[in-house]
A and B are shown apart, each in its own frame.
Chain A
Amino acid sequence: MFRIASRANTKRVVPRLSTKLLNSSRLLSTFELPENKILETIKEANTPFEGLFSNKAINELYFERGQHLVDELNRNLEASQVTGDLHFRGDLSHIISKTMNNANLYQINKNASHLHSLEFFFDALKPATLAEGKESPIQESNRESIFETPSDQDIETNMDPELVSWIEHSFGSVQEFRNLLINSAMGIKGDGVVWLVAESSMSKTYLSDEDKGLYHNLALVNTYNGGVIDGDDRSGQMGRFKKYLSDKEAENKGEEKPQEQLEMEQEEEQSEEQEEVTEEQQKEESKDSSDPLSLGSVEDAEYGHAFHDKKFVPALAIDASPRNYLLDYGVYGKQKYLENLWECIDWSIVSRRLPPRTKQAISNF
């Protein structure tokens, strides 16, 4: 299932009675900005987040933005309650997956998922300890920095040996892992997050609901604009889309079908997949029109294999959105920001978030 942040008290869900509704017995969830002790101390002491953010940036990025998201979320939740479409209870991830495929609830979904990534990102950070007399690395980058070659020498982390060995197994070495992480984040242009996830080695089809899965491999996954790593929903899309196709066929034969089945949910990955299958169907119908070039491409295969039916457990989120580096590092500072960020990752929290590692010889399927 979805793992929420490591510390149990970071999210406070306060059930309270809805005053606006006639049916006052219905419970409504409202949210507060998750508590983050490190950041709150920083805010009170008016000090920078050593090694990564200035005090002003922390205030903007966490407190101002977080509060804005929380307010918007609560406002939209309440509004949806008033219209009586649906009502939401429970934690953030529950709300995210509930609202995922409904255009009317887009605002709730977006605010909730952004809030979730924000919390997940900041929870695994800790201020770096600066060497005595060393200049603070929080500095605006200049024009010349575009030409600089990223450095990956002398990487030291306080990862525990088990995590190191898992990373070496999955990525080759800590150095390669760092390069991949930073390069993925550099590639993101707009809002987006790079996630370190543990990937279940068996497809979900073979796992029962209670089965936690076997985690054998670590991987990096990008999500954009507040997309969440939601193993359940992503993998479920495949089944739903197949159902949709069969429904569609039924519709072609003039049969009636329930409206909610029409609701097509799918991610882009699956839509590529869809194309392939549709083509195959067409091929069955008319074999003459087959085009050898449009047979399933490597991309289709990749998408099909990489996402569907895999369970992901996120362990680390690296927020690569422009706002994070613009305030302190300027337009040219993304690379520098990400390099500093690497120094501020609390690996003990990452280790704690990861599921137990399964060592096994056979992977996939």
Chain B
Amino acid sequence: MKVQTKATQGIIDRTSHFLKKGVQLEQPAWYNVVLDNPPITDLVKQPKNYKSEDSAKQVNKTTRTNVHETYKTRLTRSELKLKNTDAFRIPKIKFFEDELRDVFFRQHPWELARPKTLIETKGDDNSKCNWKNMLQLHKPLDGESVVQRTIYILNNETKPDGSKYSLFEAYDSSRFEYYKLRMREEMESHVAKEEAIMYGAVFPETNLAQNVKHEQEYIDVWTKVAEQQTKMLQAGRGSRAPEGSVVEEESEAGPSIFEGFVDDVEPEKL
């Protein structure tokens, strides 16, 4: 097996660079060790594409008659060899739904901005849903509804003339159902507000002001993170660090993990 450098190259490269530029002052304990003994196996698992014939593949059992009455006492070398090495590879799981999701969210990128709860009580929420209609009692209306409804239409519904829906037609029909429900909900929200105001309701602040305030909280956090990242970028100018190696931070996660290091650096060195 050839020496795998890919897995560790990035971190060695980057640490070396930081050490050189003084972003990181002390050599980490593992540095020399990893440099001298790079791992020989590729730690990145490559996914395996399952094909339908794989599972259907039958082990060819050829039965030979034992003419010489000899008995096998040990396995041959080739028999000892591990044959099914594929078993250690992660299968690449492919779902039809994923393609639909991909199409939908590519067409409606802002749908991804809707907050989504990932927790389910028992993990079987979808089994409670009946996709005869798009609105579900057990599930918020979102892009996933379009996907599930498309599949339902494909499998269960026929056009008025009795013919089956094509994938494209089913997706379109479910997409428009989604638009209609969203339009109704949005209108309901607008009208409800207007109606309330006409009966003398008052609101402490408008939703715009509320949003601006809310946004500002995140901007404040982000300003700090951005400051760190700018320093990092400046330090990294001209380096060979691989693309994407600049640490990407979630604003929620607070400042960069390199914060401590950067703070120690005197401004002149940057």
A and B touch in the complex (CB under 8 A): yes
Whether a CB of chain B sits under 8 angstroms from the CB of A101 is no
Given contacts A179-B183, A293-B209, A293-B213, contact A187 B133 (CB under 8 A): no
Size band of the B side of the interface?
A: 20 to 34
**A147 touching B133, Cβ below 8 Å:** yes
A341 → chain B, closest Cβ, in Å? 16
B206 → chain A, closest Cβ, in Å? 5
Given contacts A150-B184, A293-B213, A299-B206, contact A222 B191 (CB under 8 A): yes
Whether a CB of chain B sits under 8 angstroms from the CB of A79 is no
Chain B, residues 193-234, CB within 8 Å of chain A (1/0): the string is 011011100000110110011000000000000000000000
Measured between beta carbons, the chain B residues less than 8 angstroms from A147 are 133, 135-137
Whether a CB of chain B sits under 8 angstroms from the CB of A259 is no
Whether a CB of chain A sits under 8 angstroms from the CB of B83 is no
Whether a CB of chain B sits under 8 angstroms from the CB of A298 is yes
Report the bound CA distance from A15 to B67 in whole Å: 126
Given contacts A224-B198, A294-B209, A299-B206, contact A187 B190 (CB under 8 A): yes
A7 → chain B, closest Cβ, in Å? 30
B132 → chain A, closest Cβ, in Å? 8
A319 → chain B, closest Cβ, in Å? 15
Report the bound CA distance from A73 to B135 in whole Å: 45
**A184 touching B187, Cβ below 8 Å:** yes
Given contacts A147-B135, A294-B209, contact A187 B180 (CB under 8 A): no
Interface residues on chain A, number (Cβ under 8 Å): 26
A273 → chain B, closest Cβ, in Å? 13
A214 → chain B, closest Cβ, in Å? 27
Whether a CB of chain A sits under 8 angstroms from the CB of B134 is yes
Whether a CB of chain B sits under 8 angstroms from the CB of A51 is no
Report the bound CA distance from A179 to B135 in whole Å: 18
**A186 touching B195, Cβ below 8 Å:** no
**B209 touching A183, Cβ below 8 Å:** no
Which residue of the partner chain, among B133, B192, B199, B209, contacts A149 with CB atoms under 8 Å? B133
B102 → chain A, closest Cβ, in Å? 24
Measured between beta carbons, the chain A residues less than 8 angstroms from B205 are 293
Q: Which of A146, A152, A187, A294 has the most CB of B within 10 A?
A: A187
**B133 touching A148, Cβ below 8 Å:** yes
Nearest B residue to A146 via CB reads B135
Report the bound CA distance from A224 to B191 in whole Å: 10
Report the bound CA distance from A268 to B134 in whole Å: 37
Whether a CB of chain A sits under 8 angstroms from the CB of B188 is yes
Whether a CB of chain A sits under 8 angstroms from the CB of B19 is no
Report the bound CA distance from A76 to B158 in whole Å: 60
Report the bound CA distance from A298 to B189 in whole Å: 16
**B180 touching A152, Cβ below 8 Å:** yes
Whether a CB of chain B sits under 8 angstroms from the CB of A134 is no
